[in-house]
Amino acid sequence: MPRFGPIIKRRELIACLRRLGFAGPYAGSKHEFMQRGDMSLTIPNPHGSDIGPKLLGQVLRQAGIERNEWEHL
């Protein structure tokens, strides 16, 4: 997995979440989302810039993924 660092591309985030068992992304009303079991995870919009560490941390918390799991999987 990518290092929890300064930036990550949206495409790379989606690929990593798929490796962790998430399906999608699917179209939502304002944001796309991915699913794993009963969990629905909102994905940042594609027209924004790269994903910084603050937003990445929010996404990983919502997904229930620990930082060390993200970096060492």
**Domain containing 28 — which CATH number?**
3.30.920.30
Instruction: Classify 6 as helix, strand or coil.
Output: coil
In a domain, 55, yes or no: yes
Position 3 in a domain: no
pTM, two decimals, is: 0.85
Is 2 inside a domain boundary? no
Domains held by the chain: number: 1
User: Is 20 within the bounds of a domain?
Assistant: yes
60 token code pair: 């990983």
Q: Is residue 22 part of a domain?
A: yes
For every residue of 18-73, DSSP letters joined together read HHTT-EEEE--SSS-EEEETTEEEE---TTS--B-HHHHHHHHHHHT--HHHHHH-
Contact 10, 50 (CB under 8 A): yes
12-32 pLDDT tens trace: 999 999 999 999 999 988 889
pLDDT tens-digit readout, 27-57? 988 889 999 999 999 998 877 778 988 899 9
Domain that holds residue 29: 10-72
Query: In whole angstroms, what is the distance from residue 23 CA to residue 37 CA?
Result: 9
